[in-house]
Chain A
Amino acid sequence: MYDLHNSVILKEGFPDFESFGISGAGVLFRNSFKKEHYETAKEAAKNSGLDIFSVLEVNADKSGDVKIALKNREFVDILMINAKSPRAMRAATESSLVDVISHAFIDQSSAALASNNSVALEINLADILELTGIKRSLLFSKIKFNLLLARKYKLDIVMTTGASSKYGLRQPRQMMALAEVLGMSNAEAKRAVMEFPKELVEKNRRKHSGVTVKEGITKNG
């Protein structure tokens, strides 16, 4: 499993990812990408056997914030936008340079745009775990509506742990079980947890290596 959204590495290093069945983890940067920190983490990860990649999550209050975020696109493997307003959401889904919309509660028109531009939606486990009672059930209903739109517009969904310490990490089996309880089929849950995150990282690495110009178009040699 590849965990796109966790801030464990920069805080705690590399705690027992393998025992949780996590083979790849993102080094999460919030709002600004620090290349030195990423290089240090990458160097430290060589012995751990963990495949790490850079993830930039940008909080966007307005559409201008998304445009600023896109300037960092070429430096990071995964670009996530945490859209906090409908306009920011629209701007994020209009760009094919954005990979994932984090903590997403998407509306119908944005879902159609996201589908055209291959922008995925994130279901963050930490969001679920920090709530209880009626607030958690309201969150579930929003996630279920997102699933409905994702099925209609053939959107990809990424399920992430959102962990900030090793106690926030979960096994792929547990994540899949939770996704199934939320209403996904077994195949959908497997794709959201196991397959799509890895595909996304590999696709972006191919693009960054310069061999792939665009999906389906490669340079000679």
Chain B
Amino acid sequence: MVKFKVKPTLKENWRYISFELLAENKISEKQIVSEILNSLLSLLGELGASNANLWLIEYDSKTSSGIVRCSNKALTEVIASFATITNIGGSRTTFRVLGVSGTIKKTKDKYLNRKRK
């Protein structure tokens, strides 16, 4: 893939949301990705979802926790879309936001490692 050079002022400011999943059954990474995107799409529409630039960075199925990346400007919308998730693959589910940070390293140190200890 070609990488385009962008001026620092035009760079996207990312926010990394660490989350925890509470579900009746075990849920795969693939199911989570599709459900997160679907909920965002149904709440905000195609145009609104395009502003979020949502991406699942990692998911640990043992602890049912992971990190999602989104644009700084659409943070509220992404958290709101998490609140609308009720069901994944037929099992009742709820998302819990552990915290938001500006870098992956800090997100892991602050929220995920603390939880995994």
Contact = CB atoms under 8 A, between A and B. Distances in A.
Given A167-B92, A170-B94, A178 B83 contact: yes
Closest 7 interchain pairs by CB?
A: A174-B83, A177-B79, A177-B80, A167-B92, A178-B80, A181-B80, A177-B76
B103 interface: no
Interface of A: 19-20, 125, 128-129, 132-133, 136, 165-171, 173-175, 177-178, 180-181
Contacts, number: 49
Contacts of B64: none
Contact of A170 (B44, B83, B93): B83
Given A20-B96, A167-B86, A174 B80 contact: yes
Given A129-B86, A132-B42, A173-B97, A167 B80 contact: no
Contacts of A128: 84
21 contacts: A19-B96, A129-B86, A136-B42, A166-B94, A167-B86, A167-B92, A167-B94, A168-B86, A169-B94, A170-B94, A171-B96, A173-B97, A174-B79, A174-B80, A174-B82, A174-B97, A177-B77, A177-B79, A178-B83, A180-B76, A181-B76
B37 interface: no
A55 B77 CA distance: 31
Contacts of B92: 165, 167
Contacts of B27: none
Contacts of B44: 181
Given A174-B79, A174-B82, A175-B83, 12 more contacts: A167-B22, A167-B93, A170-B83, A170-B94, A173-B79, A174-B97, A177-B80, A178-B83, A178-B84, A180-B76, A181-B77, A181-B80
> Looking at A20, A132, A170, A175, which has the most chain B CB atoms within 10 Å of its CB?
A170
Contact of A177 (B83, B93, B96): B83
Interface string B3-46: 00000000000000000001010000000000000000011100
Contacts of B96: 19-20, 171
A22 to B, nearest CB: 12
B80 A168 contact: no
Nearest to B23: A167
A128 B81 CA distance: 12
A52 to B, nearest CB: 21
A133 B42 CA distance: 7
A20 B97 CA distance: 9
B84 A129 contact: yes
Nearest to B99: A173
Nearest to A189: B76
Given A129-B86, A181-B43, A166 B22 contact: yes
Nearest to B43: A181
Contacts of A177: 76-77, 79-80, 83
A219 to B, nearest CB: 43
Nearest to B44: A181
A168 B94 contact: yes
B82 to A, nearest CB: 6
